[in-house]
Chains A and B, each alone.
Chain A
Amino acid sequence: MKAKEGVLDYLNKILTCELTAIHQYFLHAELCEHWGFERLEHAVRSRSIGEMRHAEALIKHILYLEGLPDMQRLEAVHVGKTVPEQLTLDLAVEVEDIALLRAAIAHCATVGDFTTRHLLEHMLKDSEEHIDWIETQLETIKQVGAEKYLSEQIHKESQEA
């Protein structure tokens, strides 16, 4: 099916954001693992895998609309050297992502592409959940302090099994 005007451009832009986010979250997850924060590692890794699923859905939809998915472009990957820094940088990515998704959803409504709009609305919901999770972590750090927060991120084998 042929795409409506401007839709493929939006989809490729969102794809670039997702591909960048995958790399950033993945590296953050690995860093958390390296530091021994296994609980955090799992949370951040599933966020990265969530973005992979989004990328997959986007590529599929771009092909369905007879477009070419742009797999070559990558924006700046911002790597945090501490956990709070990572959370702040990831939050910035999600906020940017949401702004782009909202603009794309509005555009789809204008040109009357409701299936693409529906797909993007699902992604928007996931992004909002990510933001909620990150904000919760940042707030907890503010309330209990980074040290106490981090000590809770060390996986205890007997508990998680």
Chain B
Amino acid sequence: MKAKEGVIDLLNKVLTSDLTAINQYFVHAKMCENWGYERLHHHVRDRSIDEMKDADELIGHILYLEGVPNVQRLGTVHVGETVPEQFKLDLKAEHEMLKMLSDGVAHCTKVGDFTTRHMLEDMAKDVDEHIDWIETQMETIKQVGLENYLSEQIKKEGS
């Protein structure tokens, strides 16, 4: 099926963001593992895999719309050297993604592409949940202090 005007462009932009986020979250997850924060490692790694699933869907949808998925482009990967820094950078990435998705939803409404809109809305919901999770972590750090927070991220075997 042929795509409506501007839709492929928009989908490729979201795809680039997703591909960048995959790399950023993945390296953050591995850093958490290296520091021994196994609980955090699993959370962040799952987030990276969520983004992979989104990328999967985007590529499929671009092909369905007879477009060419751009898997060559990569935005800047921002790597945090501490856990709070990682949260801050990931939050920024999620906010940018949300903005892009909202613009995409508005554009799809305008040109009358409701299937693409529906897909982007599903993705926006996931982003909302990611933002909520990150904000909760940052708030917890504020309330209990970084050291207490981090010590809770060390998985105890048997638990």
Contact = CB atoms under 8 A, between A and B. Distances in A.
- Size category of the B interface is 20 to 34
A31 B69 CA distance: 10
A24 B70 CA distance: 10
Contacts of B59: 26-27, 30
A23 B19 contact: yes
A2 interface: no
Given A30-B60, A34-B60, A60-B30, A72 B72 contact: no
Contacts of A23: 19, 71-72
A56 B30 contact: yes
A64 B30 CA distance: 10
Interface in A55-91: 55-56, 59-60, 63-64, 68-69, 71-72, 74, 76-77, 79
Interface in B39-88: 52, 55-56, 59-60, 63-64, 68-69, 71-72, 74, 76-77, 79
Contacts, number: 57
Interface string A16-28: 0001000110110
A79 B23 CA distance: 21
A69 B30 contact: yes
B63 A31 contact: yes
Interface of A is mostly: helix
Given A26-B59, A27-B59, A71 B27 contact: yes
28 contacts: A19-B23, A23-B71, A26-B55, A26-B59, A27-B71, A30-B63, A34-B63, A34-B64, A52-B52, A56-B26, A56-B30, A59-B27, A60-B30, A60-B33, A60-B34, A63-B31, A63-B33, A63-B34, A64-B34, A71-B27, A71-B79, A72-B23, A72-B74, A72-B76, A74-B72, A77-B71, A79-B68, A79-B71
Interface of A: 19, 23-24, 26-27, 30-31, 33-34, 52, 55-56, 59-60, 63-64, 68-69, 71-72, 74, 76-77, 79
